[in-house]
Structure 1
Amino acid sequence: MGYGVKRWKNVTNIHIQKAVDKWKEEGLQAATIKEYLSGVRTVCRIYENDRIKPDNTQFGIPNRVFVDNRDKSIPQDVFQKAVTELKQSNNSDDKRVAAQLQLERYIGLRVEEACKFNAHQAVMTGGRVFIQHGTKGGRERIINELTENGKAAIEYAKALSGINNLIPNDHSEKQWIQKYYRITRAKGISKKECGASSHGCRHAYAQDRYEEITGFKAPCKFESKKAFRKNAIIIGGEKWKKLNQDARQIIKAELGHGPDRDDVVSQYLGAI
C-alpha cells in the first residue's frame, strides 16, 4: 500500500487500520480479518511491539459472534463407517481419504492441513507433532499431546504416503481436494446427510479434548447452558470455570487459532 514499513517494531495502529479498511473493501469476512489481526499482534509482540490495540472493535471489526450452541461434530458412527469402508477399498485414493479423515478427527487438522500432512517430517522428538503445511494464515503450531487414536492415524498416513504428503502425485492440490469432497459426500459425510461436513471432525476433536482436560462435556452437548453449568459444577466443583478457561486456551492453540479468538473456540464447544 506504499507505506514502506520495513520492521515489525515500526508497525502502528494507523497501518493496521489502513490494512483492515483494504481487507473490508476486498470483501474479506470479519472472521478472516480477525485471524489476520491475531497473527499481526502475535508477530508484533515477538518483535517487542506491544502498542497494537487488543480490541478488534477499535479497528471497526465487531467482536460479538452469534453462538447457537448447536453440536456441529460429525456423528461417530457415520465417521467410523466411512473410514472402515474407505480402508477396505482397493482404491488407493479411498485409503488416502480415510487417512485424512482420521487426521482431522483425531489430531484436529483442517482439510488442507490433512492433505498436506507429511508424517515423516511432522513427528518430532518426544512424539510431538509439528503442523506447518496448509495452515490458516501460515500459523505453524505444535501438538504436544496425542491419544492412541492420534498416533494410529499418523502411522496409517505414513504407511500410505511414506516421505510425501497425502496428495497423490498425479493430482494437483485443487484436483485432490475436489475428489476428497466427492468421496466423503458419497460416504454420507455432509450437512444434508448427517448434519455435519468433514469439518465436523475438528468439532469432534475439540469436544473430546475439552472433556479430557476438564472432566466434563462441552456446553454444546447439553440442551441448555443451565444444564451444562449444573453438570460442570457437580464434576469440577469450584474449579469448573478455571478448567473451562484453561481447556479453551489449550484447544485454541491446538486448532491453530490465536489466543484472542474466543469466538472461534465457542463455535466448536458452545458458549457458557
Structure 2
Amino acid sequence: MGRALITAYQMKGNGDNTKNICKSALYDFAKHLKENGVNDLRKVEKMHVLKYAHYLNERFENGVISASTAQNYLSKVNVAMEYARLDRSCRVDGVNDAGLPSRTGVAVFYKGVGVEQHQNALKTLTGRLGAQLALQREIGLRFKESCLINAKRVLGHALRTGVIRIEGGTKGGRLREFPVSSPAQIRALKIAAEIQKDHTSMVPQNMSWAQYQSQCYREISGSGVNFHGERHHYANARYETLTGVESPVNSGFSHGLEHLKYMSTTLDISLEHARQLDHDARLQVAQELGHGRVNITNNYLG
C-alpha cells in the first residue's frame, strides 16, 4: 500500500514526491493501516485517517516526533488519499478533527470542546461512547484509557479515598493518581460504571479491543467533536481552577511574558510569583493528563 500511496501522491505533480518526508509519511501510514487490519486502500475510511492522526498526536506528546513532523505526515496522507480516491471524503483536519499541535507546539487558540458542542454530540452517540466522552472531559482520560478503564473499581477507590486512580490503558502502563476535584468526576464514573456492569472495562464483552476501537472512531467521525478536544477542555478548566485565571488560549494573552503580566495584574501578585504559579499549575495539569513533561501543556493551554 505504501507504493500505491506514493503513486497517488505523485499525481499532485508538485515535484515533492521524491522527498524523504513524503515516503516516510506514506509508508508509516501504510504500516499503521496494516497493523489495524486494513490491507486494501479501497477499504480505507475517514475514521482510519482520523485514527492515524490521533496516533501521530500520541507520538508527539510522547516526544517521539516533533509538532511539524506530525503536521507534515498528516498533510502527505491527506493529499495521497485525495488523489487515490479522487475525492476528499477521507480528509482530516489535524488541528480541528484530531487535536494535533500547531507546528510550533504552542497552541494559539482554544481546541477544547464547548459545552453546547459536547451536548449536541451526545445526542448522536451511543450511551457507552457518550459516557467515555464524559470521562475524557471531566477526568482528562485519553481515548484508550476511557475504553479500558474499570470504572467500577476507579469509582469505589475515589469514594473511599478521594483519589482517582487510573491504571488501564495508560501510557507505558504507568499508574497515575490525583485527587478528586469536582462532583462531575464522580457523576461521570457512576454513569460509566452502570454501563460497564459486571465487565472489567468499557469495551463490550462481545467485542475485541480492536473491533471496539474501530467502531468508536467511525462513530466519533460524524459527531462534530474529537476525543482529544475533551482533554483540551479538561486541561484548560483545571488550569483556571488551579491559578484563578484563564489560560493563554482562553484569555487572549499570548504564551509567555504577556500572559504572566496578565496573571500578575489580575491576581495582584508579583511577576515572579505569577511565573511560579503558572509553572506549578502546568506541572499539575501535565501529571493529571499522564505526561512527564510540563512543556506538553503548551499544546493544550498555549
TM-score range, shorter chain: 0.5 to 0.7
Corresponding residue number in structure 2 for 1:78: 117
- CA RMSD in angstroms, aligned pairs only: 2.5
> Using a 3 Å threshold, how does the CA distance of structure 1 residues 213 and 75 change in structure 2: closer, same or farther?
same
Tell me the TM-score normalized by structure 1.
0.67
Percentage of matched positions with identical amino acids: 32
> Given the alignment, which residue of 147, 151, 167 partners 1:115?
147
* Structure 1 residue 206 corresponds to structure 2 residue 243: no
Distance in structure 2 (CA, Å) of the matches to 1:244 and 1:224: 14
Q: Distance in 2 between matches of 1:85 and 1:118?
A: 25
Q: CA offset at residue 84 of structure 1?
A: 4.7
Are the aligned partners of 1:128 and 1:145 in contact in 2 as well (CA < 8 Å)? Answer: yes
Shift of 1:120: 1.8
Contact 1:118/1:163 (<8 A) preserved: no
Instruction: Find out whether 1:66 has 2:95 as its counterpart.
Output: no
Q: How many Å separate the matches in 2 of 1:209 and 1:202?
A: 10
Are residues 30 and 268 of structure 1, via their aligned partners in 2, closer, same or farther at CA, if it must alter by over 3 Å?
closer
Distance in 2 (alpha carbons) for counterparts of 1:65 and 1:187: 28
* Structure 2: runs of 5+ lacking an equivalent: 1-27, 29-55, 66-102
- Give distance in 1, aligned partners of 2:63 and 2:262: 36
The yes-or-no answer on 1:99 pairing with 2:135 is: no
Match of residue 186 from structure 1: 222
Query: 1:264 offset after TM fit, Å?
Result: 1.0
Q: 3-state DSSP class of the match of 2:145?
A: helix
1:11-90 paired onto structure 2 within 5 Å = 31-33=61-63, 66-84=105-123, 86=125
Give the paired residue count. Answer: 201
> How far apart, in 1, do the equivalents of 2:107 and 2:135 lie?
27
Residues 152 and 190 of structure 2 are in contact (CA less than 8 Å); yes or no, is this contact kept in structure 1? no
Which amino acid is the alignment partner of residue 171 of structure 1? M
Cross-structure match for 1:159: 194
* Matched AA of 2:197: G
**TM-score computed with the length of structure 2 as normaliser:** 0.61
CA–CA separation in structure 2 for the residues paired with 1:219 and 1:68: 9
Contact 1:107–1:146 (CA under 8 A) maintained in structure 2: no
**Measured at CA, do residues 31 and 82 of structure 1 come closer, stay the same or move farther in structure 2, by a change above 3 Å?**
closer
Flag structure 1 segments of 5+ consecutive residues without an equivalent: 1-26, 36-63, 87-93, 190-196
1:241 aligns with 2:275: yes
Contact 2:152 2:189 (8 Å CA) reproduced: no
Is the aligned partner of 1:175 residue 2:214?
no
Q: Is residue 132 of structure 1 aligned with residue 167 of structure 2?
A: yes
How far the C-alpha of 1:117 sits from its partner, in A, is 1.1
Partner of 1:8 in structure 2?
Answer: none
Alpha carbons 1:74, 1:198 under 8 Å: kept: no
- Aligned residue for 1:130, secondary structure, equals strand
Tell me how far apart the structure 2 counterparts of residues 163 and 234 of structure 1 sit (CA, whole Å): 52
